Amino acid sequence: MTDSTLRPIADIADPQWEAIAAIPIVDDGMPLHALSLAAPALRVHPIYHALGVSGAVPECWAREAVYRRLLMVARSLPEGLGLVVLDAWRPYVVQRHFYDTLLRMVETRYADLDESDLRAMTRAFVSPPSDQPECPSPHLTGGAVDVALCDDDGMLLEMGSAFDEARPASHTVHFEHHAHDATTRTYRDRRRALYHTMWDAGFANLPSEWWHYSYGDQMWAWYRRESRAVFGPSSPDTLEKRWQRSLGLGD
């Protein structure tokens, strides 16, 4: 038993999206880095590409500050636990697909709810797609990451709900209130280890998803009480962009 598993996770306030969207962004210009280069300290499994999601990229890209903090987390977790990155920078087209798909399912399942409630339920698990400079989708910034825990052999550990599972058990603090046997206490302790190690490295957690953390985006700024976000919309470098820069053609 370690300190990070002994410390409960306090209830996390629900995000106030209007206030978050109003936080100014002053992008520091950090490029995206391929997280697979951090091996073997960090395990990377681009899950949406592996699942065949159209438009999903075969690499997990993140800003340098995120890259380095994830390495810090991987090296600070309790013995026997490893960090796996499942998703990071996400193209707009993929975000659009996820949001529209889940919204349609929620509308089908809860046909009696009004539009605002349906969209709120959807937003708890998928942010509305936006590539606007003043309020981009978190994953478009390169500051948001989806992570999980594994054992020394790289096997993903059970966390009490599957990654991307849209149900109450996915809320980060769920097992702080529903740990009634050895199995659920194990889920609780694993979430504690992940949460506290990520928080201590400077990340913020989306409370409806035990796997979603961010650094540098607007949600991070709101939870960490920063006056501004440092990451706006971004994208991996391309050969065309390098040629443009070398020829002085700008963007």
Q: Which residues participate in the annotated binding site?
A: 139, 146, 212
Residues in binding site for Zn(2+): 139, 146, 212
Quick one: tokens of 115?
A: 């539009």
Residue 9 burial (CB count, 10 A): 20
Is 107 labeled as catalytic in the residue annotation?
no
Is residue 193 within 8 Å of 2, Cβ to Cβ? yes
Please name the amino acid found at residue 208.
S
Distance (Å, whole) CA 224 – CA 158: 28
On the 0-12 / 13-18 / 19+ scale of CB atoms within 10 A, 155 is exposed
Contact 88, 62 (CB under 8 A): yes
**Token code pair at residue 183:** 């199995």
d(CA 197, CA 73): 6
- Distances from the Cα of 231 to the Cα of 27, 30, 157, angstroms: 5, 8, 31
Active-site residue identified among 59, 209, 226, 240: 209
C-alpha angle 197/202/205, rounded to 5°? 70
Query: Where do runs of H (alpha helix) occur along the chain?
Result: 3-6, 17-21, 47-50, 64-76, 92-109, 115-123, 174-177, 182-200, 218-223, 239-246
Q: Report, as residue numbers or ranges, the catalytic residues.
A: 209
